[in-house]
């Protein structure tokens, strides 16, 4: 009887969400969007400003020019309205092999990413991927899922605990542990795979060779060391990711060839 009530409650709430907040990603995937874009962009701007104030920024002009060159080519290849946004980039003088993009057009690149992205094409694959998270509204989708999941966990925990405070706490902790295996990961594997697909198109349209995405992720895997089991990771396994990237070449190589024919041939010079 208790499980029937729980299933009915979850179905009711989920139904209301689907009816009131249905959206579609650039690849046609269904999304639940509950958060205001303006709200997330304001929060992102605040967090980005705090990062710039608290983390060392790159001062080497050759490195700044190189990374900015790649990012500018990617941004110019975006569709409207994103190509018209005032994108802002910060390059952090830290060794982490990482990069990110935030709602509102904020791009962060850690110097350490150049250990894996060893030429302009590989760096374009990274930046294209991160920008794709923004254009596909993955942060909004993630934040919306987080808000809904938290409410659902609280309700489910009360029902499972039968109103007993100690039992409720135990049920809540168990459900939160389950979330760590996939419900509340920073970006889901579906989102990561989607960002790969979209980002690959961005880099190809900008004149960067999409085939270089394969050695990039091989380098990333080498830098990361032994990868965790795929179901515990926010990213697809390297083998699966590479298979998916190669599967997109029939679409992205013509975009790359068209860009080259049109004279879009980036020449971003890596620092010595």
Tell me: pLDDT of 3 over 90. no
Q: In degrees rounded to 5, what are phi and psi of residue 83?
A: -70, -20
Q: If you average pLDDT over every residue of the chain, what do you get? A: 78
pLDDT tens-place string over residues 163-222: 444 444 444 444 444 443 333 346 778 888 899 999 999 999 999 999 999 999 899 888
Tokens coding 119: 């030429």
Candidates 130, 141, 192, 194; catalytic one: 130
pLDDT tens-place string over residues 99-123: 999 889 999 999 999 999 999 999 9
The share of the chain scoring above pLDDT 70, in percent, equals 67
Does residue 152 lie in a domain region? no
130: domain range?
Answer: 39-138+187-261
pLDDT, residue 126, reads 96
Does residue 129 lie in a domain region? yes
pLDDT tens-place string over residues 88-99: 999 999 998 989
Number of folded domains in the chain? 1
Angle between helices 120-135 and 189-205 (to 10 degrees): 120
Does residue 18 lie in a domain region? no
Does residue 70 lie in a domain region? yes
Q: Are 44 and 103 in contact (CB under 8 A)?
A: yes
Task: Specify the higher pLDDT residue, 212 or 7.
Answer: 212
Does residue 244 lie in a domain region? yes
Q: How confident is the model at residue 17 (pLDDT cuts 50, 70, 90)?
A: very low
Does residue 105 lie in a domain region? yes
Q: How confident is the model at residue 151 (pLDDT cuts 50, 70, 90)?
A: very low
pLDDT, residue 32, reads 62
Does residue 169 lie in a domain region? no
Does residue 230 lie in a domain region? yes
Is 50 catalytic? The answer is no
């Amino acid at each position: 009887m208790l499980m029937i009530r729980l299933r009915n409650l979850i179905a009711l709430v989920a139904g209301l969400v689907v009816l009131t907040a249905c959206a579609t990603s650039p690849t046609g995937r269904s999304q639940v969007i509950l958060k205001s874009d303006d709200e997330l962009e304001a929060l992102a701007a605040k967090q980005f400003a705090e990062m710039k104030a608290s983390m060392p920024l790159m001062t080497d002009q050759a490195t700044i020019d190189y990374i900015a060159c790649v990012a500018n080519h990617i941004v110019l290849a975006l569709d409207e309205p994103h190509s018209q946004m005032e994108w802002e980039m910060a390059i952090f003088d830290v060794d982490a092999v990482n990069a990110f993009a935030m709602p509102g057009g904020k791009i962060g690149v850690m110097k350490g990413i150049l250990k894996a992205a060893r030429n302009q094409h590989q760096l374009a694959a990274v930046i294209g991927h991160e920008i794709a998270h923004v254009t596909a509204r993955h942060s909004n989708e993630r934040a919306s899922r987080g808000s809904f999941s938290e409410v659902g966990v609280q309700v489910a925990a009360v029902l499972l605990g039968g109103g007993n405070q100690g039992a409720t706490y135990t049920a809540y902790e168990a459900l939160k542990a389950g979330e760590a295996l996939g419900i509340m990961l920073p970006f889901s594997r579906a989102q990561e795979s989607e960002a790969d697909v979209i980002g690959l198109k961005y880099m190809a349209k900008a004149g960067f060779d999409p085939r270089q995405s394969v050695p990039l992720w091989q380098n990333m895997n080498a830098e990361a060391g032994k990868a965790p089991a795929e179901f515990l990771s926010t990213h697809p396994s390297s083998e699966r990711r590479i298979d998916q990237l190669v599967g997109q070449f029939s679409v992205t190589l013509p975009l790359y060839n068209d860009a080259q024919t049109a004279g879009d041939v980036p020449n971003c010079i890596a620092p010595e």
